[in-house]
Amino acid sequence: MRAPPHPANEAQRLGQLHDMKILNTPPEERFDRLTRLARRLFNTPIALVSLVEASQQWFKSVSGPFEAQTTPRDISFCGHAILQDDVMVVENTLCDDRFHNNPLVTGEPHIRFYAGCPLRGPAGVNVGTLCILGSEPRDFSADDRATLRDLAAMAEAELAAFQSATCDELTQITNRRGFMTLGQLVLNDCLLKQRPASLTFLDLDKFKQINDTLGHREGDRALMDFADAMKVCFRHHDLFARLGGDEFVVLFNGLRQPEADALLADFERHLQQQSRSLNRRYALRFSSGVVEFDAAHSRSLEQMLEESDARMYAAKKRRNALA
């Protein structure tokens, strides 16, 4: 067995995969109907939409008797497939040095045939595959390859649609819809693993003044500057979003309130430095209110947002009173 090597653009590939915010999201009919169709068209027992992470592959859609939600990347067929620009076919795994003694071949699901077409994310890099698995060796014709390519193109369109539906058009960070879906998943995982988390509501100070004195185009630029600073300062496993208008939010995964406060202080310093380097006519400042998630007395994401919003509003009143 040969573990798949990493592509030359691995860091970029993983960054774009994480930016899609699709990992560990619930099953969706838009992907499930494609894997069901692939099974019927090719008469195979299993079809998957697989996304290849740093150390494992995760399945957005599974059709057929395949129990795992993830498998290690070093035994994955799809890890090899994403290295290619076209369909990868293994007509008989027992005759292929890469796979003949692979645990997925020697044990369940006893793969004897594999065909996978790389799936490109919206940014154009291979993030996973649409693949079919068979328990018997078989031929795979040029027409079969063309059909699998067509199905993969449909899966790529759904990946783009997923990102569009959960991405803020102006700032290109997660929008309210995406945050409410993904944020609750993060809290559920924190509850399961008894891991801390903190949430903060962020509201730009004097944003209306920027719009009124400099125009809405400059106001849009200020929002984009703020989002760009969030991309620099917050970590991949933190979830940040624009809720609407000049309201933003961050869910710090694994951090307690003092650690979140420290990161917000770093963020404020970065904002000031960024404004100076960009020679803006204003300094971006914000008010915030941090709420800590308590796994022993868990609250919903909506409840945490309400409390954080109230704390932010109180902080803004105090700041305005001192101005």
pLDDT band, very low/low/confident/very high, at 82 (cuts 50, 70, 90): very high
Give the pLDDT confidence score for residue 74 in this predicted structure: 97
Question: Residues 116-130, buried b or exposed e (16+ Cβ, 10 A)?
Answer: bbbbbbbeebbbbbb
Cα 289 to the center of its chain, rounded Å: 25
Q: What is the pLDDT of residues 199-224, one digit of tens each?
A: 999 999 999 999 999 999 999 999 99
Is the pLDDT score of 323 beyond 70? no
Domains and CATH numbers, the chain: 10-166 (3.30.450.40), 176-322 (3.30.70.270)
Q: What is the pTM of this model?
A: 0.75
Give the pLDDT confidence score for residue 144 in this predicted structure: 95
> Cα–Cα distance between 45 and 102 in angstroms, integer?
19
- State what percent of residues in the chain have pLDDT above 70: 99
Q: What is the pLDDT of residues 181-196, one digit of tens each?
A: 888 888 888 888 888 9
